[in-house]
A and B are shown apart, each in its own frame.
Chain A
Amino acid sequence: MIRALATFVFVALAALPVRAIEIQEITSPGGIKAWLVEDHSIPFTALSLMFKGGASLDAPEKRGAINLMTALLEEGSAQMDSVAYAEAIEALGASNRFDAGDDALTVSARLLTENRDAAADLLRQALTEPRFDQDAVERVRAQVQSVIRNEDTDPNSIASKAMAKLSWGDHPYGSSVNGTAETVAALTRDDLIDAKNRVLARDRVVVAASGDINAEQLGQLIDKILGGLPEKGSVPLPEQAKLQLTGGVTLIDWDSPQTVVSFAQPGLPMSDPDYFAAFVADHILGGGGFASRLMDEIRDKRGLTYGVGTGLSNAVYGETWVGGMASANEKTAEAVDLIKQEWDRFGESLVTDKELNEAKTYLTGEYPLRFNGNGKIAGILAGMQLIGLPADYVNTRNAKIEAVTAEDVQRVAKRLLHSDQIRFVLVGRPQGIAASN
């Protein structure tokens, strides 16, 4: 009966529904480009604005300035102080989220059709006329300092900060967007204005919208929101980051029954001809959740962890192949050895037809499911523009995965997957495993 069910599964795969989403590429009257997916079934529009460079545009010695500036955008602008601004947003039922990341400052807005213009005006005001009032600056600065303190006592944050530093050194990718207690303490109002001028400009924004709005309305809306921003950012976009990672083990002592394990090795850019082969390889190795080899060996067969996973980490200015898990201190060494074994075994033989087919059907089948909702569509379309993908990527991407062969997977594995290149950062008190360079 297992066979029968499996047969049914593979018969069904042939008929994967592809309901192409229609992306309109528009240019506003003011010359700003945007991607739009219209859907008038729910009376609101999701809007995603991504300003390239994000927190990586922080000035030297001013780490954390763009993050703090971003958090202050909703804390008062034009004639309104923090409270007046928040009251105005709440009275419209609008919602704006501001987030400073490594590659973009992202604004995720939801605007009700009923009062879209009024909500857009408040968003314009936040982006173009923030006040940076002293009381708001001090209040939010103290909140950011609290986040930094929490990160310093969280083993996952400790591991990821250490791995970032080992990977990227002095490039902004090598440190937290939040900055440090010292850099954040020293930020002035002028630093915040400088931070805003670095990142909030029309030459570095990408725009996507989905929902109850047409092309003409969207053009007017984005001109209204973004038209008042400077034409150009005050500094060039960040430089490509140079990966400094070496293989080995870094131990960070932490009093806990478990060790947090973060691991990374060199990756490859999306422009690499073998990118999709690596994408399929990652799924089979550790990216595929319960279906992956690492999960099978380390969790299902031996119960050494609650979860282990890997992924290709492709940022705009650099890329790694990463993974993570947590394991009891006395079992960490065994689990780490299993990761290394699976890593090296991967290129030694071809993946099986079953593994390859199941990876492809997952990776191609999962893709259209992501586009279920205005908020998700706007976020995906802005993200595509951020990394320079064309709109028709949504229709060509699956064919690139389908084309990957077992030989392609083996070739890229032989080229990239070598356990002696992996850096493990262990935060905990793991037994039987020593630090190395």
Chain B
Amino acid sequence: MNILMRLSPLALALAATPSLAEMPKGISHFKLDNGLEAVVIEDHRAPVVVQMVWYKIGSADEQPGKSGIAHYLEHLMFKGTDKLGPGELSKTVTANGGMDNAFTSYDYTAYFQRIAADRLPLVMEMEADRMQNLRIGEDDWQAERQVVLEERSQRTDSDPGAQFAEERSAVQFYNHPYGRPVIGWRQEMEGLTRDDAIAWYDAHYAPNDAVLIIAGDVTAEKAKELAEQFYGPIPPKENTTRKPRPQEPEQRADRRIERSDPRVAQPVLTRSILAPERNAGEQKQAAALSVLAELLAGSAQTSVLARDLVLTGKALYVDARYDGLTVDPTTFGISLVPGPGISNADAEAALDAALTKFLEDGPDAAQLERVKTQIRASRIYAQDSAHGRAYDYGQGLSVGLTVEDVNDWPDILGAVTADDIRAAAQLVLARPGSVTGWLLPEPAADQAQAATATLPAAEDVQ
């Protein structure tokens, strides 16, 4: 094995983990007859358990014109069943010392509770109940639509950075629904109804398209027994599996967008390009992209862009982002804030020069080794949070990976070579089709005006 030979003695010790085919310690996996797939992550250090149910359906599966329905339904899932009144599930969890919540993304919708281990049957009973018996009252759906609109106001419309990210995505994706915001476009959200929500629920919420994760102070045997008891009786549905989404054509043109807003404090550059995602049995390219992001900007002092741009004063901050846990191709992105006295054009030119140099030189061997050491250390630190590992498996299985793919990921990251990184860099740094966005403050004069406009009111507080 070439990988092991290149590791330092420390790294060798850290790499003493199970070989690829074995299940990591404390992880087990089973499937019920109705198709519900489950992963159990044992951690007996504290009497706590986390239950998560992930449905393999998200905003990217919505029909055009109905954006936001996946997230709106997520909210309505708390409005009760035949057995539970509106809000009663959360109140019951809270009354038992636990907490619960839910979240929606492009590719999945997930519900979770964190609670004392002996209450696991209770939360499993309630989660299984709303997998098949959701009821939404007349008043509830209208008030909740206001809540999601307020959520949009709070998260997106009050934040020019979030608004700009929404528009950048719309420009990035010509054809794929990843170009639409998860929360939905406001005018479409305003038209969503209970019937839309119920149709979505009936079509997609079924055990055969869900993933159950139980993490914490429970044995694999007990978790399986409880899963059989509560989820086993739920019949599978037909035709629930998401349909293939419209895919991106080849993108040939670089695009640029720009927006000024008085609420922006300083210019921010973001550049992104389509990139491949993690796929079952095929994660090597995604691993190389993950390591590439670390090499470029993972450290504020030693990364490629930190050395070339931040230490030299050309940028205040740099960042590189890649997350391959998606169903369809995702993006690789870089962002920066220009340094004091550096024009936006000079900052961008310095970024271009640094990336060109990296494409020519490839990764520095010592830096690559340090990044890999950190990856191996992260694997140890990750064991400190059963909740965190529940996310890894839930998200992985929801986007079509297998348990083995999730298990193998740290090893695949560790096996990335300098040549893999060069190839990944060519893929995301040297091709056309990028979207470059500048989010800018108002021009100087307007900015001064905007600042004074807020002062009189603010003065009475001082």
Binding site for B on A (CB under 8 A): 1-2, 4-6, 8-9, 12-13, 15-17, 19, 39, 41-44, 46, 75, 82-83, 85-87, 90-95, 110, 112, 114-115, 135, 138-139, 142-143, 145-146, 149-150, 152-153, 155, 158, 162, 165-166, 250-258, 260, 288-291, 296, 299-307, 326-328, 357-358, 361-369, 371-375, 425, 435
Contacts and interface: CB of A to CB of B under 8 A. Distances in A.
B317 A83 contact: no
Contacts of A114: 10, 13-14
B299 to A, nearest CB: 6
Interface string B31-53: 00000000000010111100000
Contact of B96 (A112, A150, A158, A365): A365
B407 interface: no
B385 A83 contact: no
A362 B340 contact: no
B169 interface: no
Given A92-B373, A153-B265, A369-B116, A12 B302 contact: no
A365 B373 contact: no
Given A8-B122, A258-B153, A290-B90, A86 B299 contact: yes
B147 A358 contact: no
A303 B144 contact: yes
Contacts of A12: 96, 118-119, 122
A369 B94 contact: no
B144 A165 contact: no
Q: Is the interface of A mostly helix, strand, loop or mixed?
A: helix
B266 A165 contact: no
B98 A369 contact: yes
Contacts of B13: 114
Interface in B234-286: 262-266
Interface string B72-110: 000000100011111110111011111100000000000
6 contacts: A12-B122, A150-B265, A361-B95, A361-B96, A369-B115, A372-B386
Nearest to A326: B154
B306 to A, nearest CB: 9
A274 to B, nearest CB: 23
Contact of A42 (B82, B313, B384): B384
B114 to A, nearest CB: 7
B316 A143 contact: yes
Nearest to B379: A93
B301 A5 contact: no
Contacts of B94: 288-291, 358, 362
Contacts, number: 251
Contacts of B446: none
Q: Which of B14, B116, B316 gathers the greatest number of chain A CB atoms within 10 Å?
A: B116
Contact of A146 (B43, B46, B266): B266
Nearest to A426: B457
Interface in B312-357: 313, 316-317, 337, 339-340
A20 B122 CA distance: 23
Contacts of A135: 311
A254 B373 contact: no
B380 A42 contact: yes
B166 interface: no
Interface of B: 10, 13-14, 43, 45-48, 78, 82-88, 90-92, 94-99, 114-119, 122, 125-126, 142-151, 153-155, 157-158, 216, 262-266, 299-302, 307, 310-311, 313, 316-317, 337, 339-340, 366, 369-371, 373-374, 376-378, 380-381, 383-387, 453-454, 457-458, 460-462
Given A85-B301, A95-B381, A149-B266, 12 more contacts: A17-B116, A42-B380, A75-B301, A83-B307, A87-B366, A87-B370, A93-B14, A260-B158, A326-B153, A357-B95, A358-B95, A365-B97
B317 A143 contact: yes
B442 to A, nearest CB: 10
Nearest to A82: B301
B165 to A, nearest CB: 16
A301 B158 contact: no
Contact of B88 (A2, A152, A158, A260): A2
A143 B87 CA distance: 44
Nearest to A118: B10
A373 B48 CA distance: 11
A300 B373 contact: no
A366 B307 CA distance: 45
Q: Which of B122, B377, B385, B386 gathers the greatest number of chain A CB atoms within 10 Å?
A: B377
A166 B154 CA distance: 25
A146 B122 contact: no
Given A5-B125, A114-B14, A252-B458, A369 B97 contact: yes
A83 B311 contact: yes
Given A142-B339, A303-B144, A86 B373 contact: no
Contacts of B147: 299, 303, 305-306
B145 A303 contact: yes
A353 to B, nearest CB: 12
A94 B299 CA distance: 13
Nearest to A42: B383
Contacts of A300: 86-87, 143
B158 A258 contact: yes
Nearest to B381: A110
Given A94-B377, A114-B10, A143-B316, A375 B384 contact: yes
B460 A328 contact: no
B46 A368 contact: yes
Contacts of A260: 158
Q: Which of A75, A91, A143 gathers the greatest number of chain B CB atoms within 10 Å?
A: A91
Nearest to B78: A290
Contacts of B117: 17
Contact of B82 (A1, A288, A365): A1
B310 A372 contact: no
B150 A305 contact: yes
A80 to B, nearest CB: 11
A368 B117 CA distance: 11
A301 B143 contact: yes
Contacts of A82: 301, 311
Contact of B158 (A94, A251, A256): A256
B262 A162 contact: no
A306 B84 CA distance: 22
Q: Which of A90, A256, A371 gathers the greatest number of chain B CB atoms within 10 Å?
A: A90
A298 to B, nearest CB: 10
Contact of A303 (B143, B316, B377, B384): B143
